[in-house]
Structure 1
Amino acid sequence: MATGETSKLIKLSDSDQTVAPEEDIRGLNVKDKDGDDLGKVDDLLIDDGENKIRFLEVASGGFLGIGEEKSFIPIDAITNIDENVHINQSRGHVAGAPTYNPELVDQTDYYEDVYGYYGYSPFWGAGYMYPALPPRSGRAL
């Protein structure tokens, strides 16, 4: 993909695309770098052009989906996957991330803001290398 070009990101659950079973981490709890709960992987945002996961959609709080807050965390932040997904950020840092606004027509600026906030280069930038997901440890597939 050329620099400056972005593929449309779609929720895996809203598409007919699939990811490898070991990459489908929906439903797992997310832990911050200190082991604190952040929520649950509600969905995965995938790049429809390359069929790669770009963000975790993490849902936290609320009751039966009402009042839930959603956070988008770049896949680059994952450090380990066992019965949970572990990331290299603190709970407070995740809480301060740019808020998602589904009304925006062009989400590119939002995604760029999120990558910058977490300290990563966006996937469409020159020299970006897709991170290999850590192998799952301690969890049967």
Structure 2
Amino acid sequence: MTREELYALRQRTGMTTMLHGCMLADRPMRVRMEYVPGRLAVSSRPPLPYQASLGTDAPGLAILAYLPTAFANSPELRSVRERGYARKSAGDENLDVLSVPLLRHSTPVGSVSVTGRHQTLERHLDEFVDAITGAAENLSSRFGRRLPD
């Protein structure tokens, strides 16, 4: 995903947008590779690249749910696959992160996320899911795979 696509997603949603890569060697984790602040600054951000274990946040859960492992069979991850997105608190009770996977064939290679105030994401959830899914489908199609229906 180009930086311009993240800016377009931010323009459409008004939210902070992020691109995450997936590293599966040794200790599976996700790495935040790009960050575009939203129109309403919600918090300070850790420096790039920021990394976290796959099960700790929405970007990681969006990746983990599509891995062909026993871990992907938990109820939470099955729910992520059924919905097509992960949503989780950003560590601040007023902020949530909404993430969808980027797939190359059937393998997750990363995720795309928006972060915003809980109330805003709740009020416009369908709109934000459509926007972020569209951005992820655009990139995933370059890898030869669309997101699951």
Per the normalisation by structure 2, the TM-score is 0.27
Larger fraction in helix = 2
Per the normalisation by structure 1, the TM-score is 0.28
Structure number, greater radius of gyration: 1
